[in-house]
Structure 1
Amino acid sequence: MAGFKWIKPEVYPLFAAVGTVVGICAMQLVRNICTNPEVRVNKQNRIAGVLENHAEGEAYAEHRVRKFLRNKPPQVMPSVNKFFSEPNLKE
Structure 2
Amino acid sequence: PLVLFKNTDAEYCLTPALTRRRETVPQYDLSPQERKMNLEDCFAVTQNVTGKTVIVVDDIFTTGATMEEAAQTLKNAGAVEVYGLAFCGSIENYGQIQ
Per the TM superposition, whether the score is higher than 0.5 is: no
Q: TM-score, normalised by structure 2?
A: 0.22
Q: TM-score, normalised by structure 1?
A: 0.23
Largest Rg, 1 or 2: 1
Greater length-normalized contact order (CA 8 Å, ≥ 6 residues apart): 2
Choose between structure 1 and 2: higher helix proportion.
1
Choose between structure 1 and 2: higher strand proportion.
2
